[in-house]
Each structure stands twice: as C-alpha cells, then as structure tokens.
Amino acid sequence: MRVAVLSVHTSPLAQPGTGDAGGMNVYVLQSALELARRGVEVEIFTRATTSSDAPVVRVAPGVLVRNVVAGPFEGLDKNDLPTQLCAFTAGVLRAEATHEPGYYDVVHSHYWLSGQVGWLARDRWAVPLVHTAHTLAAVKNASLAEGDRPEPPLRSVGEQQVVDEADRLIVNTEYEARELVSLHHAQRDRIDVVHPGVDLATFTPGDRAAARAVLGIPSGEPVVAFVGRIQPLKAPDVLLRAAAKLPGVRVVIAGGPSGNGLANPDGLVRLAADLGITDRVTFLPPQSRDRLVEVYRAADVVAVPSYAESFGLVAVEAQACGTPVVAAAVGGLPVAVRDGVTGTLVATHDADDWAAAIDGVLRRDPAEMSAAAHEHASGFSWAHTVEGLLRSYGHAITDYRSRHQRRDLPRRERRRLSIRRGVRA
C-alpha cells in the first residue's frame, strides 16, 4: 500500500510547541513511521517554509517528506494559506505525475486546508480520500478564551465541504464523531474512531530528581508543568492564576508563542509579575522529545487547561511518564485522563477550581496515582493507532471501488493517462 499524506500548514518535521506545530505534527510523523514499519510506503506533502528545505527528505525507510514550494517561505499566517492552495495542489499533482498511474492507494489529509487539496487529488487520481480534521472551527468558536479571536467563516465553509466530499472521516474520540454529525451532518457510518498514540519507548517513568537537575529546577518544591503552544486557546494563564493561590508551588511552562498568542508574546511573563509569582515560574523554550521527557518526569503534575482539545497528546505523554494530569473536561481529554484515577478533570476555567484540583492531586499518594497514570497511558500506542488507520483505509478503498463499477474503469484510466501526459507536457 502507498499513502499520500497531506499536511499543508505545518510540517511533521517542525518542532512541536513552535508556530503552528503541535500534536498534529506528532500524529502525522509517528503514524507514518509506524505505517512504514508495517510495509506501507508513506509520502507526506507539506509546504516549504524556508529556502533551505530540501525538496525531498527521507525520514526513514518508507517515509518521505516532500516540501512543496507554495507562496513565500516566511511571513504567511495560517489564515493566509487558502490563497496558496492552488500552488500547493499543483506541486502535489506534479509529484504524482512522475509515477505510473495508480501509484497511490489512498489520500489521507490532515486539517481542513489539506482536505481541500485532497478533495481534488482524490478526483484526479481516482483513489479514496480519508480525512482527519483534528480541530473544528465551530467547536473552537463555541469555547473561546476571553479576548481570543474566532475562527473565520471561510474555515467553517471549507470544513463543511471536506466533510461532504471525504470518503472516510477519522476522529480521535466518539465525542468528536458526535460533533461531526451534529455540526456538519456527517454520516456516522463514514466515521472511524481511532485514538492517537504515544511513543511508549520514549515516554517512560524516570528519576524525578535527575530530571529536575537536567532542567535546572529546584528539587524541594512541588512542580506543576504546562507543555504546549502559548496561545489563549491552550489557557496557560489559567495555570498561573491558580498557582498564585498555591504558595510554594513552582510552575514550569515549556512552549513558544503561537497563533493568536503572537500578538502578546510576553503576556505570560507580565502576568506572572502582576501575580507576584515571577520567582517561582520557570519558562522553557519548546523542547525536543528527549528534553520533553525530562519535563514530564520533573513535574509532580502536568496541567492541560485548554478551552478546546480534540484529544490531548500532552496528557497521555505525561501519564506515560508516570505523571498525573489535571485537565479541562473538554473535547477528548475525558478519554485521555481517567478522572480521579490518573488525574483530575476540571469543569471550569476558574482559578479557584484549578487551584483546588491541583492541590488535591498534590496531596494524593504519588505512587498510587503515578502507577495508574502509566498503566492507563500504556493503552495508547502508535501501533494501536495504525491498526485503526489501516482498517479505515481498507474500508475506504473497498467502498470506493464498490461505488465505481468495473465498466467505468477503462474510461477512467484513459482520462487519468491523458491528464498525466498533459501535466508532463
């Protein structure tokens, strides 16, 4: 099997926690690597963002990343990218035209921008389109942080078009499936629920004191960590306000400004000063995977206070390291965290509620909750994720072929060959 994976707005090779890179980047790369281990060839198409990006990067045997030139390398916001979809699509089609007809078996698009490209590629290549939204504009707009900007109507329209056109839709949780049905009128029998995974060989429990020494964090204080992009949607300010009510608790924030957070890149630093807790807040830049493990191990608790979260990979990664999680009870986080067992879910974003929840976890028997967190996370592996992806791909291919009868194939093949000759010319 060969899969063309589309990730227009962010590269799987980008450092999570910077720009628009986050859980989706991890998902695309790790699932591709696991697919390749099972003999599936994966080509990931993404937009080149620097002149130094090689046109093709071989990440591992069976996994290629193609950096498509579409628009200026720098200075484009995610909301500007619809203007470059034509250029990106042309690059994808040209790459496919160098292969023999029928080279790819399926197209898997991630995020609505990629879905727009995948929709056209599906029709040109005569293969099914599988789409993963990751987030939905309607969901984000229904739970905006104070002062946050809503997603533009253009995105909502684009998402509806992709939902209508995709042969199969993959979601992270059953909750997300219900959202697709209720908000976008998707057919439930075209939706597959596939939980994201975690690299269980990398994210493992370890020595807390040693991890704090690596990061330069004092060893004698309770530590609550936040990992992710610094933007209103992720709500790191909620953690700071809660920490101000918890004397003696240190906060570690690992990540960089992103999205709407770029308008106020120093906002958290100023908030910490206004709250009088600067001396017990440690700011770290986005961390590599190896260093991120140390952040999770160094923390007594990891906080995920997002206003919207389709799943919450940070929560599962932290639990794989044996660290309990306090998370907002939104989106897929109730699946990622077992309330009262591996952490606590908080129904509001009120600082008093968050302070009480964090304090409650800190007072629990750390060994008991740590063991439960690690056991729970062990059920989320990329191997399990890829099993679900392969089932979905199989359903998509079978359904697509059944809808296109054999009598249509000669005409379709002639059309595809004529298209390829025209592109080559």
Residue 255 sits in a domain of what CATH number?
3.40.50.2000
Q: What are phi and psi of 212, to 5 degrees?
A: -65, -35
Position 158 in a domain: yes
- Decide: 61 and 36 in contact? Cβ < 8 Å: yes
Determine how many CB atoms are found less than 10 A away from the CB of residue 367. 9
Residues 389 and 369 in one domain: no
CA 158 to chain centre: 19
Gap between the Cα atoms of 99 and 102, Å rounded: 8
Residues at the annotated binding site for UDP-N-acetyl-alpha-D-glucosamine? 15-16, 23, 229, 234, 287, 309, 317
Residues 103 and 221 in one domain: no
Residues 126 and 220 in one domain: no
Tell me what pLDDT residue 422 has.
Answer: 44
Position 45 in a domain: yes
Position 56 in a domain: yes
Gap between the Cα atoms of 354 and 350, Å rounded: 6
Tell me what pLDDT residue 109 has.
Answer: 98
What's the domain count of the chain?
2
Tell me what pLDDT residue 76 has.
Answer: 80
Position 265 in a domain: yes
- Decide: 299 and 318 in contact? Cβ < 8 Å: yes
Determine how many CB atoms are found less than 10 A away from the CB of residue 414. 10
Residues 182 and 270 in one domain: no
How many C-alpha atoms does 249 have within 13 Å on its Cβ side?
Answer: 25
Q: Is the dihedral of CA 293, 295, 296, 297 positive or negative?
A: positive
Residues 106 and 213 in one domain: no
Residues 219 and 346 in one domain: yes
Tell me what pLDDT residue 37 has.
Answer: 97
Helix axes 111-125, 409-424, angle to 10 degrees: 110
Residues 221 and 355 in one domain: yes
Residues in Cβ contact with 27 at an 8 Å cutoff, skipping those fewer than 6 apart: 110, 132, 134, 196, 313
Residues 282 and 192 in one domain: no
From the list 171, 172, 175, the residue with the least C-alpha distance to 130 is 171
Residues at the annotated binding site for Mg(2+)? 296-297, 299, 323
Residues 124 and 217 in one domain: no
Q: Is the dihedral of CA 21, 23, 28, 34 positive or negative?
A: positive
Residues at the annotated binding site for 1D-myo-inositol 3-phosphate? 9, 20-25, 78, 111, 135, 155
Residues 162 and 220 in one domain: no
Residues at the annotated binding site? 9, 15-16, 20-25, 78, 111, 135, 155, 229, 234, 287, 296-297, 299, 309, 317, 323
Q: What does pTM read for this prediction?
A: 0.90
Position 412 in a domain: no
From the list 166, 161, 41, the residue with the least C-alpha distance to 104 is 41
Residues 248 and 190 in one domain: no
Bridge partners, 281 (sequence order) = 251
Position 273 in a domain: yes
Position 425 in a domain: no
Position 423 in a domain: no
Under-50 pLDDT residues of the chain: 407, 414, 417-425
Residues 173 and 237 in one domain: no
Measure Cα distances from 249 to 130, 296, 345 in Å.
45, 16, 20
Domain interval for residue 326? 208-379
DSSP state letter for 199: -
Gap between the Cα atoms of 312 and 173, Å rounded: 11
Gap between the Cα atoms of 358 and 325, Å rounded: 9
